[in-house]
Amino acid sequence: MITVKGPVDHVVVVGAGLAGLAATLHLLGAGRRVTVVERDSGPGGRAGLLESGGYRIDTGPTVLTMPDLVEEAFAAVGDRLADRLELIPLDPAYRARFADGTQLDVHTDGAAMEAAVEQFAGARQAVGYRRLRRWLERLYRVQMRRFIDANFDSPLQLAHPDLARLAALGGFGRLDARIGHFVSDERLRRVFSFQALYAGVPPARALAAYAVIAYMDTIAGVYFPKGGMHALPRALADSAAEAGAAFRYGQTVTRLERSGDRVTAVVTDQERIPCDAVVLTPDLPIAYRLLGRAPHRPLPLRHSPSAVILHAGTDRTWPDLAHHTISFGAAWKSTFRELTRAGELMSDPSLLITRPTATDPTLAPPGKHLHYVLAPCPNTEVGPGVREWRELGPRYRDELLAELERREMPGLGAAIEEEGLVTPVDWTAQGHAAGTPFSVAHTFPQTGPFRPRNLVRGTVNAVLAGCGTTPGVGVPTVLISGKLAAERITGPRPVPRPVRRGTTA
Ligand SMILES: Cc1cc2nc3c(=O)[nH]c(=O)nc-3n(C[C@H](O)[C@H](O)[C@H](O)COP(=O)(O)OP(=O)(O)OC[C@H]3O[C@@H](n4cnc5c(N)ncnc54)[C@H](O)[C@@H]3O)c2cc1C
């Protein structure tokens, strides 16, 4: 593995989002001195917090999976997740509600889910689900250490027996077709393939290998931290500070000072911080601007669809909503076409509705409730631009509200007492390319070793981390990206010694 050359005692990490915090903990664990510079007044980045009218509103991720990656970050400095956060497993992980009035609760437990599938769609589909579950488990095992949790120096690294295993599992086919191979019920196919949207690609075009997200969501389990999702970055930052990291909040990095091919200092709007190496976690355009060059790519980068988020603090709730409810429209393929190709708003939307106060009522004032509605929308490259969104936003809010009232939440408009609307205008204002917080899409040419690399030509002591680089978008993946960036600086982590059966320490 290529690592940063020369002295690497003091590292400056730019950005206290989840990637930056993970990188910080892993660097501290390897004995490095770390300074974290963050333009916001606290940690979290996209996993932010908005406090308004007594509501504590998570502004970013709501679905937390793979807590062992969080544990790994804490463990780097000898800390424990259980001492920092209370993670509540969600059951159901999701509730899927369909346009025909049916609904399915997605359980993490295999037997419970098989029973639910049987009741929902019959015995043959339940058998198909059992096979699908085994396939997802195998797919995850083959991919995780080799292709996701790995620093790539060259695509040739793919040439490993696990690649043949992945091919044998059908990982290079199309996601939707592969899921259909196990479950033919159209509604079930959606439940196990909609996650492709997290990767920014329609299920009909996404690689089947991306079913690994369905593994994380539907098998590994979905959790919610007490205190809200923002409690996660807050806990990671507290752990890092106690382990010796210096945090500089409220400072924007404006340039990097260089000597030849090395960065020698990070310059903010307030001070100059000398460093031996730098980890850059802002969105790619900002990172490349700071570095003074963007790598040449044969094709321009394509970005994921964006999202409109409606935050609603209400004086009532709708108990049929689970913590996470996916309200599917009748339309499906055309919805993805609208989002990714036509650049139009969904004509028959599929929505993620999160009701965090179902699990933690303290996130709202006594007797009140919080709802977070995520409506995917085209990014500004293919769809309406920022100027159009300024007018479109309030209109779309009204349309969404009408649709929610018609489907899951009658009386929503009258129940709202605190409201926030986030559109591509806001994502653009935060510096996110193409008006999307979901970064570069996970198309084949932008996946694994073909995704923008975490090392950049021309600068020997700068490493990228975060959702734009490897392995990609999402809480689990950016935690990994922080660890991978740290390894570029500290060298590979020691290979755990095999434990021999039958021996005692
Ligand atoms: C609305 C939404 C919903 C999501 N839902 C989910 C979900 O349910 N599950 C899931 O797994 N993932 C989800 N994601 C994705 C996940 O949250 C992100 O991929 C992840 O949080 C990105 O982390 P990051 O560290 O790469 O980037 P960021 O969080 O953006 O961190 C980068 C940091 O750098 C700082 N910065 C930028 N420029 C500068 C500068 N010049 N100087 C100093 N600091 C700077 C920024 O302020 C920011 O704090 C969601 C994201 C959003 C936005």
* Residue 17 Cβ < 6 Å to ligand 1: yes
Query: In terms of Cα–Cα distance, which of 12, 23, 119, 118 is closest to 76?
Result: 23
SS3 content of the chain, % helix, strand, coil (to 5): 40, 20, 40
Q: Is residue 94 helix, strand or coil? A: strand
* Residue 281 Cβ < 6 Å to ligand 1: yes
Terminal CA-to-CA distance of the chain, rounded, Å? 32
Distance of CA 23 from the midpoint of ligand 1 (Å): 14
DSSP E strands in 349-480: the ranges are: 351-354, 369-377, 416-422, 462-464
Could you tell me if 225 and 90 are in contact, meaning their C-beta atoms sit under 8 angstroms apart?
A: no
Sequence-ordered list of residues with C-beta below 8 angstroms from that of 73, at least 6 positions apart, any chain: 21, 22, 25, 26, 236, 479, 482, 483
- What is the 3-class SS of 231-290, one letter each residue? HHHHHHHHHHHHCCCEEEECCCEEEEEEECCEEEEEEECCCEEECCEEEECCCHHHHHHH
In terms of phi and psi (left: phi > 0; alpha: psi -120 to 50; beta: otherwise), the region of 357 is alpha
In percent, how much of the chain has pLDDT > 70?
A: 97
Distance of CA 426 from the midpoint of ligand 1 (Å): 13
Q: Which two tokens stand for residue 254?
A: 């404006």
Residue ranges in 302-411 assigned as alpha helix (H): 333-337, 386-407
Which atom of ligand 1 is nearest to 268's Cα? 42
Could you tell me if 449 and 157 are in contact, meaning their C-beta atoms sit under 8 angstroms apart?
A: yes
Q: What is the pLDDT of residues 309-320, one digit of tens each?
A: 999 999 999 999
Distance of CA 270 from the midpoint of ligand 1 (Å): 23
* Residue 201 Cβ < 6 Å to ligand 1: no
The answer on pLDDT for 501 being more than 60 is no
Distance CA 471, CA 464 (A): 11
How far apart, in Å, are the Cα atoms of 197 and each of 141, 271, 378, 402? 22, 41, 11, 24
Distance CA 207, CA 191 (A): 16
Which structural domains are found in the chain, ordered by start?
10-86+227-300+442-490 (3.50.50.60), 109-220 (no CATH), 304-434 (no CATH)
Distance of CA 49 from the midpoint of ligand 1 (Å): 12
Q: What is the pLDDT of residues 75-132, one digit of tens each?
A: 999 999 999 999 999 999 999 999 999 999 999 999 999 999 999 999 999 999 999 9
Cross-strand partners of 463:
279, 455
Distance CA 302, CA 439 (A): 9
Can you give the pTM of this predicted structure? 0.96
Cross-strand partners of 97:
103, 327
Distance of CA 47 from the midpoint of ligand 1 (Å): 6
Q: Which two tokens stand for residue 362?
A: 């303290």
Could you tell me if 11 and 34 are in contact, meaning their C-beta atoms sit under 8 angstroms apart?
A: yes
Cross-strand partners of 255:
267
Q: What is the pLDDT of residues 381-420, one digit of tens each?
A: 999 999 999 999 999 999 999 999 999 999 999 999 999 9
pLDDT for position 495? 52
Q: What is the pLDDT of residues 166-195, one digit of tens each?
A: 999 999 999 999 999 999 999 999 999 999
What is the average pLDDT across 182-209? 94
Q: Is residue 223 helix, strand or coil? A: strand
Distance CA 409, CA 7 (A): 58
β-pairing verdict for 253-259 and 246-249 = unpaired
Which region among 13-22, 79-88, 351-360, 443-452 has the lowest average model confidence (pLDDT)? Answer: 443-452
Chain mean pLDDT for the chain: 95
* Residue 40 Cβ < 6 Å to ligand 1: yes
Distance of CA 19 from the midpoint of ligand 1 (Å): 8
Q: What is the pLDDT of residues 412-465, one digit of tens each?
A: 999 999 999 999 999 999 999 999 999 999 998 898 889 999 999 999 999 999
Residue among 475, 479, 484 whose CB has most ligand 1 atoms within 8 A, to mutate: 475
What is the average pLDDT across 5-10? 92
Distance of CA 449 from the midpoint of ligand 1 (Å): 22
Distance CA 485, CA 456 (A): 12
pLDDT tier at 494 (50, 70, 90 boundaries)?
A: low
* Residue 252 Cβ < 6 Å to ligand 1: yes
The answer on pLDDT for 498 being more than 50 is no
DSSP character string of 160-228: SHHHHHHHHTTTTSBHHHHHHHH---HHHHHHTTGGGGGGTS-TTTSBGGGHHHHHIIIII--EEETT-
Sequence-ordered list of residues with C-beta below 8 angstroms from that of 49, at least 6 positions apart, any chain: 42, 56, 57, 58, 59, 228, 230
What is the average pLDDT across 341-359? 98
* Residue 62 Cβ < 6 Å to ligand 1: yes
Q: Is residue 453 helix, strand or coil? A: coil
Q: Which residue has the tokens 């090395």?
A: 262
Residue 384 corresponds to which amino acid? Answer: P
pLDDT for position 502? 38
Distance CA 50, CA 95 (A): 26
Distance CA 431, CA 451 (A): 20
Pick the more confident residue, 427 or 152: 427
Cross-strand partners of 259:
262
The dihedral through the CA atoms of 228, 229, 230, 236 has a sign that is positive
Is residue 337 classed exposed, middle or buried when 0-12, 13-18 and 19+ CB atoms within 10 A define those classes? middle
Residue among 46, 253, 442, 473 whose CB has most ligand 1 atoms within 8 A, to mutate: 46
* Residue 311 Cβ < 6 Å to ligand 1: no
* Residue 452 Cβ < 6 Å to ligand 1: no
DSSP E strands in 83-179: the ranges are: 87-89, 94-97, 103-106
pLDDT for position 162? 87
The answer on pLDDT for 499 being more than 60 is no
H/E element, 225: strand 223-225
Distance CA 462, CA 350 (A): 40
β-pairing verdict for 369-377 and 262-268 = unpaired
Which atom of ligand 1 is nearest to 62's Cα? 8
Query: In terms of Cα–Cα distance, which of 131, 143, 124, 19 is closest to 473?
Result: 19
